[in-house]
Amino acid sequence: METIDLQWYVVRAISGQEKKVKAMLESELIKAKLTDYVPQILIPMEKVYQIKNGKKIAKERNYFPGYILVQCKFYGEVQATIKGINGVVGFLGTKDIPVPLRQSEVNRILGNVDENAAIELAGGNEPFIIGEPIKVIDGPFNGFSGIIEEVNDEKKKIKLMVKIFGRRTPLELNYNQIEKE
């Protein structure tokens, strides 16, 4: 089979059950002998760091909750098999016609997932830890140094204390405004 015929589609699934739906989808495609027409099923994930009890914990989070990417060619019963899986709501697109993703969208999504994996392998993307000294590199407090008081990974913000005119002053800054000393 030629890979030119394959396109990426977005399957809507019940949010929070993406892994279960993916597993059921894979087993049904094997039973129906349709795996040649659906070579890849992907749940885009990203690594998220959280600080719990002073320790950094890496967790994986769904990048697009409620959606699964499927690379396939609609041949025979492929579309009906995918739609018939328990937990699948349908395809993204018009009423009965699934619309494939543009190649630029696929590259961006897959590139983002690969980029996160590459950062993790390189040991980059280190989380900020409470009590750690940092330096402000952007904004009106550029050049000031301080100690991290609070970290909010979800909003990518930190709260820190800096000394301004001899007084401790709290600041809330974005990750891109600070760097480790």
Write out the residue range of the structural domain in which residue 19 sits. Answer: 3-122
Strands (E), 63-131: 67-72, 88-91
Instruction: Identify whether 149 is part of a domain.
Output: yes
35/74 same-domain check: yes
Instruction: Identify whether 128 is part of a domain.
Output: no
Average pLDDT score, the chain:
81
The yes-or-no verdict on residue 20 having pLDDT over 90 is: yes
The pLDDT, as a whole number, for residue 54 is 64
Give φ, ψ of 19 to 5 degrees: -65, -40
What number of other Cβ atoms are within 10 A of residue 140's Cβ? 7
Task: Supply the CATH number for residue 55's domain.
Answer: 3.30.70.940
For 136-162, what is each residue's pLDDT tens digit? Answer: 888 788 888 888 898 887 788 899 888
For 53-100, what is each residue's pLDDT tens digit? Answer: 767 777 888 888 899 999 998 888 888 888 888 888 888 887 778 888
Instruction: Identify whether 13 is part of a domain.
Output: yes
Task: Supply the CATH number for residue 160's domain.
Answer: 2.30.30.30
- pTM for the full predicted model: 0.57
